[in-house]
Structure 1
Amino acid sequence: MLIDTTAVNQSRRPFDDNGDIWLFGYGSLIWKADFPFLERKSAYIEGFERRFWQGSHDHRGTPQAPGRVATLIPVEGAVCHGMAYRISEETLAPLDHREKNGYLREVTPLHFADGGQVQGLVYMATEENPAFLGPAPLETMARHIHEAVGPSGPNRDYLLNLAQALRELDVEDAHIFALQAELERL
């Protein structure tokens, strides 16, 4: 089910009007940075794992046949690696539109690979949103991803691009790599 969170996200103003904002990307925002940014750094957040449990009705699937895309699931002690972007506030509007299908902006501590830390934003889709698909057996998810196609292209490209980007960052992600192996088996 398509849900548009754009207005909700635009009403959330977690930072003062001080200019730059740091945004954490853990899915397509790692490999598809088609937005203006001032700086980009390898980063991670704590307490979350990346999972292909969110439905995509608008990019990697359709309302009738949603794809599966990444979201974050709270897991104590977990670390999720990705990419942080320093952006201007004006960049949030197009990102809010891009991430509109159930994702909400949340504030999180970002840890940079070089040792720094800042408060940043992350788009997260929780199980409370209507597009949340939740867990499924690996083979079921891989078949779903293999078959789904949306306006942004085949769902499998999303998974394969994410796996490649994580390897380029030298990041281990058992869920993503197991899902990729299952997809390639198909």
Structure 2
Amino acid sequence: MLNTTEENRRRHPLHPDHPVWLFGYGSLIYKADFPYLERAPASISGWTRRFWQGSHDHRGTPKNPGRVVTLIESPGTLCAGMAYRITPDVFEHLDHREKNGYLRFSTPMTFHTGEQENGLVYIATADNGAFLGEASEQHIAHHIAASHGPSGSNADYLLQLAEALRELGAHDAHVFHIEAALLRTGQPHPTKNSP
């Protein structure tokens, strides 16, 4: 399995006394299983969320990977998410959580107040070994319906992400179309405390 932990440490050496902003656009919106100093809705420009990354370690298995979101370049597009101000030691946990193909990149973020900060974001690019690539939203929904991993069902990941985006007031046609297709397969809504 691809493991990007060490590469991320090399890419962004962090000063232990300087807090850093992190931008989350997938499960990091609703599953903050780490300590943070501040949390605020934010967006980044030029990127769009897509269910094109394989999950061999959380929402699937090495033999049957699930599908999770990554960011794809899309000029003029705004991607809504959640920003967290964290101490650098938290990346020990985050680098492990995002190890299956995700690399840290620096990005400007805009908060709902209009203020801007630079932050780090995990992106799984098309050249990583777990990338599954583009597929129809119907195909993705069927793939998600059949996938399950150590962190729970792939369906719960999708449904919780869709709900978190609604709570942010963010419309994401890609996510919502896949959600609708998944619900047509008879998938139940997730419980609030599901992993």
The one-letter code sitting in structure 1 at the alignment partner of 2:76 is: G
Residue aligning to 1:111: 110
Structure 1 contact 14–107 (Cα < 8 Å) conserved: no
Q: Does 1:162 align with 2:157?
A: no
Structure 1 residue 13 displacement after superposition: 2.1
In structure 2, distance between residues paired with 1:43 and 1:169: 9
In structure 2, distance between residues paired with 1:104 and 1:67: 19
In structure 2, distance between residues paired with 1:29 and 1:59: 13
Structure 1 residue 16 displacement after superposition: 5.1
SS of the residue 2:104 aligns to: strand
The one-letter code sitting in structure 1 at the alignment partner of 2:166 is: R
Structure 1 residue 18 displacement after superposition: 5.0
Q: Does 1:20 align with 2:50?
A: no
Residue aligning to 2:35: 36
In structure 1, distance between residues paired with 2:71 and 2:174: 12
SS of the residue 2:33 aligns to: coil
In structure 1, distance between residues paired with 2:115 and 2:31: 24
Structure 1 length normalisation: TM-score? 0.97
Q: Structure 1 stretches (4+) deviating beyond 3 angstroms? A: 14-18
The one-letter code sitting in structure 1 at the alignment partner of 2:2 is: I
In structure 1, distance between residues paired with 2:99 and 2:29: 17
Residue aligning to 2:78: 79
Which aligned pairs between 1:48-87 and structure 2 lie closer than 5 A?
48-87=47-86
**Structure 1: which 5+ runs fail to align?**
none
Residue aligning to 2:192: none
In structure 2, distance between residues paired with 1:147 and 1:94: 28
SS of the residue 2:159 aligns to: helix
Cα-Cα RMSD:
1.0
In structure 1, distance between residues paired with 2:140 and 2:184: 13
SS of the residue 1:172 aligns to: coil
Residue aligning to 1:135: 134
Residue aligning to 1:101: 100
Q: Does 1:175 align with 2:174?
A: yes
How many residues align structurally?
A: 185
Structure 2 length normalisation: TM-score? 0.93
Give identity over the alignment, percent. Answer: 58
**Structure 2: which 5+ runs fail to align?**
186-195
